[in-house]
Amino acid sequence: MGIKNSKLLSLTKFKRPANSNNSNNSNNSPPIKKIFNDDFKFIDGRRYHNVENIHYFLPNDDQEIDRLQLQHYMMRYIWHSNFSSPVRDLLNEGGVHVLDVGCGPATWILEMASEFPKCEFTGVDVVPVMPLTIKPKNTKFIEANVLKGLPFPNDHFSFTYTRFLNCAIPSSNWTTHVIPELIRVTKPGGYVEIMEWDIEIYNPGPLGRRLTDALVKNVKSHNIDDKLPEKLVSYLQDSRNLRNINHEFRDSPIGKQGGKIGTLALDNSIYAFKCCETKFSVEFGMTLEEYNAHFEHYAKEVDEFKSQVRTHRFWAEKI
Protein backbone atom coordinates (compact mmCIF):
# COMPACT_ATOMS: atom_id res chain seq x y z
CA MET A 1 0.00 0.00 0.00
CA GLY A 2 1.32 3.48 -0.83
CA ILE A 3 2.14 6.13 1.78
CA LYS A 4 -0.04 9.23 1.98
CA ASN A 5 1.57 12.63 1.46
CA SER A 6 0.36 13.82 4.87
CA LYS A 7 2.35 11.06 6.51
CA LEU A 8 5.46 11.95 4.53
CA LEU A 9 5.23 15.53 5.70
CA SER A 10 4.97 14.41 9.30
CA LEU A 11 8.46 12.91 9.09
CA THR A 12 10.19 15.31 6.75
CA LYS A 13 9.11 18.28 8.88
CA PHE A 14 9.49 16.51 12.23
CA LYS A 15 6.76 18.55 13.85
CA ARG A 16 5.98 17.06 17.25
CA PRO A 17 2.54 17.26 18.81
CA ALA A 18 2.05 19.69 21.65
CA ASN A 19 1.78 16.93 24.26
CA SER A 20 4.79 14.95 22.99
CA ASN A 21 6.84 15.60 26.12
CA ASN A 22 4.77 12.94 27.86
CA SER A 23 6.25 9.59 26.84
CA ASN A 24 2.98 7.85 27.72
CA ASN A 25 0.73 9.80 25.37
CA SER A 26 -1.09 7.94 22.62
CA ASN A 27 1.08 9.37 19.82
CA ASN A 28 4.31 7.94 21.16
CA SER A 29 5.74 4.50 21.84
CA PRO A 30 5.50 2.97 25.32
CA PRO A 31 8.17 3.66 27.95
CA ILE A 32 11.48 1.85 27.43
CA LYS A 33 11.83 -1.24 29.60
CA LYS A 34 15.36 -2.15 30.68
CA ILE A 35 16.71 -5.41 32.11
CA PHE A 36 20.41 -5.88 32.90
CA ASN A 37 22.83 -8.77 33.38
CA ASP A 38 26.64 -8.94 33.32
CA ASP A 39 27.29 -8.85 29.56
CA PHE A 40 24.04 -7.58 28.10
CA LYS A 41 21.15 -5.22 28.73
CA PHE A 42 17.69 -5.70 27.25
CA ILE A 43 15.71 -2.66 26.09
CA ASP A 44 12.25 -3.09 24.60
CA GLY A 45 12.99 -6.72 23.87
CA ARG A 46 16.31 -6.02 22.08
CA ARG A 47 19.69 -7.09 23.44
CA TYR A 48 22.52 -4.54 23.78
CA HIS A 49 26.09 -4.45 25.08
CA ASN A 50 26.41 -3.83 28.80
CA VAL A 51 30.17 -3.29 28.82
CA GLU A 52 32.05 -0.45 30.49
CA ASN A 53 33.53 2.13 28.08
CA ILE A 54 31.84 0.60 25.02
CA HIS A 55 29.38 3.10 23.54
CA TYR A 56 27.91 0.88 20.82
CA PHE A 57 24.28 1.98 20.61
CA LEU A 58 23.00 -0.67 18.19
CA PRO A 59 21.70 -4.04 19.43
CA ASN A 60 23.77 -7.25 19.39
CA ASP A 61 20.98 -9.82 19.26
CA ASP A 62 20.14 -12.29 16.48
CA GLN A 63 18.55 -9.59 14.32
CA GLU A 64 21.70 -7.47 14.54
CA ILE A 65 23.88 -10.48 13.78
CA ASP A 66 21.82 -11.03 10.63
CA ARG A 67 22.45 -7.40 9.66
CA LEU A 68 26.20 -7.71 10.28
CA GLN A 69 26.34 -10.80 8.09
CA LEU A 70 24.41 -8.96 5.37
CA GLN A 71 26.82 -6.05 5.78
CA HIS A 72 29.80 -8.38 5.33
CA TYR A 73 28.57 -9.59 1.94
CA MET A 74 27.75 -6.03 0.94
CA MET A 75 31.37 -5.01 1.68
CA ARG A 76 32.74 -7.97 -0.22
CA TYR A 77 30.65 -7.08 -3.29
CA ILE A 78 31.72 -3.43 -3.08
CA TRP A 79 35.44 -4.11 -2.62
CA HIS A 80 35.73 -7.49 -4.40
CA SER A 81 37.91 -8.66 -1.52
CA ASN A 82 38.01 -9.09 2.23
CA PHE A 83 41.07 -6.87 2.71
CA SER A 84 43.27 -4.35 0.92
CA SER A 85 46.63 -4.82 2.66
CA PRO A 86 49.31 -6.49 0.46
CA VAL A 87 49.37 -9.68 2.52
CA ARG A 88 47.79 -12.23 0.17
CA ASP A 89 51.09 -13.93 -0.74
CA LEU A 90 51.98 -14.12 2.95
CA LEU A 91 48.61 -15.64 3.82
CA ASN A 92 48.86 -18.15 0.97
CA GLU A 93 52.29 -19.20 2.19
CA GLY A 94 50.87 -19.76 5.68
CA GLY A 95 52.37 -19.99 9.12
CA VAL A 96 51.25 -16.50 10.18
CA HIS A 97 48.85 -15.19 12.82
CA VAL A 98 45.95 -12.88 11.94
CA LEU A 99 43.88 -10.86 14.44
CA ASP A 100 40.37 -9.46 13.97
CA VAL A 101 39.53 -6.86 16.64
CA GLY A 102 35.80 -6.43 17.25
CA CYS A 103 34.98 -9.56 15.25
CA GLY A 104 31.28 -9.64 16.18
CA PRO A 105 29.64 -12.79 14.72
CA ALA A 106 32.98 -13.49 12.98
CA THR A 107 31.71 -13.73 9.41
CA TRP A 108 34.93 -12.12 8.10
CA ILE A 109 37.28 -14.28 10.12
CA LEU A 110 35.46 -17.54 9.35
CA GLU A 111 35.66 -16.80 5.63
CA MET A 112 39.33 -15.85 5.88
CA ALA A 113 40.17 -18.95 7.91
CA SER A 114 38.59 -21.16 5.23
CA GLU A 115 40.36 -19.33 2.40
CA PHE A 116 43.77 -19.44 4.11
CA PRO A 117 43.86 -22.73 6.04
CA LYS A 118 47.63 -22.57 6.67
CA CYS A 119 47.24 -19.47 8.88
CA GLU A 120 46.02 -19.04 12.45
CA PHE A 121 43.14 -16.61 13.03
CA THR A 122 42.11 -15.02 16.32
CA GLY A 123 38.98 -12.95 16.84
CA VAL A 124 38.27 -10.77 19.86
CA ASP A 125 35.10 -9.02 20.97
CA VAL A 126 33.78 -7.60 24.22
CA VAL A 127 30.91 -10.12 24.42
CA PRO A 128 30.59 -13.69 23.10
CA VAL A 129 28.48 -13.31 19.95
CA MET A 130 30.95 -15.28 17.84
CA PRO A 131 30.66 -19.07 17.25
CA LEU A 132 32.49 -20.78 20.10
CA THR A 133 32.11 -24.42 19.06
CA ILE A 134 31.39 -24.89 15.34
CA LYS A 135 34.33 -23.21 13.62
CA PRO A 136 37.42 -24.02 11.54
CA LYS A 137 40.31 -25.60 13.46
CA ASN A 138 42.57 -22.66 12.64
CA THR A 139 40.39 -20.13 14.51
CA LYS A 140 39.94 -19.16 18.13
CA PHE A 141 37.93 -16.46 19.86
CA ILE A 142 38.62 -14.48 23.02
CA GLU A 143 36.53 -12.00 24.98
CA ALA A 144 38.58 -8.81 25.23
CA ASN A 145 38.13 -5.05 25.23
CA VAL A 146 40.66 -3.12 23.18
CA LEU A 147 40.14 -0.10 25.48
CA LYS A 148 41.51 -2.18 28.36
CA GLY A 149 44.36 -3.65 26.34
CA LEU A 150 44.51 -6.66 24.05
CA PRO A 151 45.66 -9.90 25.78
CA PHE A 152 48.55 -10.55 23.39
CA PRO A 153 52.30 -9.89 23.50
CA ASN A 154 54.02 -7.22 21.47
CA ASP A 155 54.83 -7.95 17.81
CA HIS A 156 52.67 -11.08 17.62
CA PHE A 157 50.42 -10.80 14.53
CA SER A 158 51.42 -10.43 10.90
CA PHE A 159 48.06 -8.91 9.99
CA THR A 160 45.81 -6.99 12.39
CA TYR A 161 42.38 -6.07 11.08
CA THR A 162 39.34 -4.20 12.36
CA ARG A 163 36.25 -2.67 10.82
CA PHE A 164 33.26 -0.56 11.80
CA LEU A 165 34.39 -0.01 15.40
CA ASN A 166 33.58 3.68 15.30
CA CYS A 167 30.05 3.25 16.65
CA ALA A 168 31.54 1.55 19.74
CA ILE A 169 34.59 3.70 20.50
CA PRO A 170 34.51 7.16 22.13
CA SER A 171 36.25 9.64 19.86
CA SER A 172 39.21 10.40 22.16
CA ASN A 173 40.12 6.72 22.53
CA TRP A 174 41.18 6.18 18.92
CA THR A 175 44.55 7.85 19.44
CA THR A 176 45.03 6.91 23.09
CA HIS A 177 43.98 3.25 23.01
CA VAL A 178 42.76 1.72 19.76
CA ILE A 179 45.46 2.61 17.22
CA PRO A 180 48.35 2.14 19.72
CA GLU A 181 47.04 -1.34 20.63
CA LEU A 182 46.57 -2.38 16.99
CA ILE A 183 50.15 -1.33 16.30
CA ARG A 184 51.59 -2.85 19.47
CA VAL A 185 50.40 -6.40 18.75
CA THR A 186 51.49 -6.26 15.09
CA LYS A 187 54.92 -7.49 14.02
CA PRO A 188 57.37 -5.10 12.33
CA GLY A 189 56.74 -5.55 8.62
CA GLY A 190 53.18 -6.65 9.34
CA TYR A 191 50.09 -4.70 8.35
CA VAL A 192 47.34 -2.91 10.24
CA GLU A 193 44.06 -2.38 8.39
CA ILE A 194 41.04 -0.34 9.50
CA MET A 195 37.74 -0.22 7.63
CA GLU A 196 35.10 2.42 8.37
CA TRP A 197 32.29 4.17 6.61
CA ASP A 198 30.73 7.58 6.62
CA ILE A 199 27.64 7.79 8.79
CA GLU A 200 26.20 10.40 6.44
CA ILE A 201 24.29 9.33 3.33
CA TYR A 202 25.37 11.13 0.15
CA ASN A 203 22.72 12.68 -2.13
CA PRO A 204 19.87 12.00 0.29
CA GLY A 205 16.29 12.98 -0.31
CA PRO A 206 14.36 14.94 2.34
CA LEU A 207 13.45 11.80 4.24
CA GLY A 208 16.97 10.38 4.05
CA ARG A 209 18.40 13.69 5.24
CA ARG A 210 16.11 13.81 8.27
CA LEU A 211 16.87 10.23 9.21
CA THR A 212 20.62 10.73 8.76
CA ASP A 213 20.59 13.93 10.81
CA ALA A 214 18.82 12.08 13.61
CA LEU A 215 21.38 9.26 13.42
CA VAL A 216 24.32 11.69 13.52
CA LYS A 217 22.77 13.44 16.52
CA ASN A 218 22.41 10.09 18.26
CA VAL A 219 26.00 9.16 17.46
CA LYS A 220 27.34 12.42 18.87
CA SER A 221 25.30 11.95 22.04
CA HIS A 222 27.37 8.79 22.65
CA ASN A 223 30.64 10.75 22.27
CA ILE A 224 31.33 9.10 18.91
CA ASP A 225 33.11 11.00 16.14
CA ASP A 226 30.85 11.09 13.08
CA LYS A 227 33.78 12.38 10.99
CA LEU A 228 36.34 9.72 11.98
CA PRO A 229 37.23 8.60 8.41
CA GLU A 230 38.39 12.14 7.62
CA LYS A 231 40.91 11.95 10.47
CA LEU A 232 42.24 8.40 10.37
CA VAL A 233 45.14 9.05 8.00
CA SER A 234 46.51 11.78 10.27
CA TYR A 235 45.94 9.55 13.32
CA LEU A 236 47.96 6.78 11.68
CA GLN A 237 50.69 9.23 10.66
CA ASP A 238 50.89 10.65 14.17
CA SER A 239 51.62 7.21 15.61
CA ARG A 240 55.13 7.39 14.05
CA ASN A 241 55.22 3.57 14.02
CA LEU A 242 53.74 3.08 10.57
CA ARG A 243 54.85 3.63 6.97
CA ASN A 244 53.28 3.19 3.55
CA ILE A 245 49.98 4.53 4.84
CA ASN A 246 47.19 4.04 2.30
CA HIS A 247 43.60 5.21 2.11
CA GLU A 248 40.96 4.26 -0.44
CA PHE A 249 37.21 4.84 -0.49
CA ARG A 250 34.32 3.56 -2.55
CA ASP A 251 30.96 5.21 -3.19
CA SER A 252 28.15 2.71 -3.63
CA PRO A 253 24.51 3.22 -4.61
CA ILE A 254 21.62 2.56 -2.26
CA GLY A 255 18.48 0.95 -3.67
CA LYS A 256 17.45 -0.80 -6.87
CA GLN A 257 19.61 1.59 -8.89
CA GLY A 258 22.65 -0.31 -7.57
CA GLY A 259 21.56 -3.86 -8.34
CA LYS A 260 22.68 -6.45 -5.77
CA ILE A 261 24.95 -4.01 -3.91
CA GLY A 262 22.24 -1.37 -3.83
CA THR A 263 19.66 -3.81 -2.48
CA LEU A 264 22.02 -4.87 0.31
CA ALA A 265 22.84 -1.23 1.07
CA LEU A 266 19.14 -0.37 1.23
CA ASP A 267 18.38 -3.26 3.59
CA ASN A 268 21.38 -2.33 5.75
CA SER A 269 20.43 1.34 6.04
CA ILE A 270 16.77 0.60 6.79
CA TYR A 271 17.80 -1.85 9.47
CA ALA A 272 20.11 0.71 11.07
CA PHE A 273 17.31 3.28 11.19
CA LYS A 274 14.89 0.69 12.57
CA CYS A 275 17.36 -0.17 15.32
CA CYS A 276 16.75 3.35 16.60
CA GLU A 277 12.99 3.20 16.12
CA THR A 278 12.05 3.59 19.79
CA LYS A 279 14.12 6.73 20.25
CA PHE A 280 13.48 8.25 16.84
CA SER A 281 9.73 7.67 16.87
CA VAL A 282 9.50 9.54 20.16
CA GLU A 283 11.69 12.37 18.83
CA PHE A 284 9.54 12.62 15.71
CA GLY A 285 6.27 12.49 17.66
CA MET A 286 5.09 9.27 16.05
CA THR A 287 3.98 5.80 16.95
CA LEU A 288 6.30 2.97 15.94
CA GLU A 289 3.82 2.00 13.23
CA GLU A 290 3.85 5.50 11.76
CA TYR A 291 7.64 5.69 11.90
CA ASN A 292 8.20 2.35 10.18
CA ALA A 293 5.59 3.07 7.49
CA HIS A 294 7.94 5.66 5.96
CA PHE A 295 10.53 3.17 4.80
CA GLU A 296 8.45 2.30 1.75
CA HIS A 297 8.91 5.89 0.63
CA TYR A 298 12.58 5.90 1.68
CA ALA A 299 13.19 2.92 -0.63
CA LYS A 300 11.80 4.92 -3.56
CA GLU A 301 13.53 8.13 -2.56
CA VAL A 302 17.08 6.70 -2.64
CA ASP A 303 16.55 5.70 -6.27
CA GLU A 304 15.08 9.08 -7.18
CA PHE A 305 17.96 11.04 -5.62
CA LYS A 306 20.72 8.53 -6.51
CA SER A 307 21.70 8.22 -2.85
CA GLN A 308 25.04 6.63 -1.98
CA VAL A 309 27.02 5.28 0.94
CA ARG A 310 30.81 5.68 1.24
CA THR A 311 33.14 3.10 2.78
CA HIS A 312 36.85 3.53 3.53
CA ARG A 313 39.87 1.29 3.97
CA PHE A 314 43.09 2.37 5.64
CA TRP A 315 46.15 0.16 5.75
CA ALA A 316 49.79 0.63 6.72
CA GLU A 317 52.96 -1.31 7.45
CA LYS A 318 54.41 -1.37 10.95
CA ILE A 319 57.99 -0.10 11.15
Q: What is the pLDDT along the chain (319 residues), one digit of tens a residue?
A: 333 333 333 333 323 233 333 333 333 333 333 333 456 666 556 556 566 555 665 556 667 777 788 899 999 999 999 999 999 999 999 999 999 999 988 999 999 999 999 999 999 998 777 877 778 999 999 999 999 999 999 999 999 999 999 988 989 999 999 999 999 999 999 999 999 999 999 999 999 999 999 999 988 888 899 999 999 999 999 999 999 999 999 999 999 999 999 999 999 999 889 878 888 888 889 999 999 999 999 999 999 999 999 999 999 999 9
pLDDT at 15: 31
pTM summary value:
0.82
Cα angle, residue 227 at apex, residues 224 and 229 outer, rounded to 5°:
110
Angle CA 115–121–123, to nearest 5: 120
Give residue 35's pLDDT.
Answer: 34
Task: Look at residue 261 in the predicted model and tell me its pLDDT.
Answer: 94
DSSP string covering 97-157, please?
EEEEET-TT-HHHHHHHHH-TTSEEEEEESS--S-SSSS-TTEEEEE--GGG--SS-TT-E
Predicted local distance difference test score (pLDDT) of residue 309: 97
pLDDT value of residue 138: 97
pLDDT of residue 43: 58
Look at the domain 40-318 and name its fold: Rossmann fold (3.40.50)
Burial label for 154, CB within 10 Å (0-12, 13-18, 19+), is exposed
pLDDT of residue 52: 59
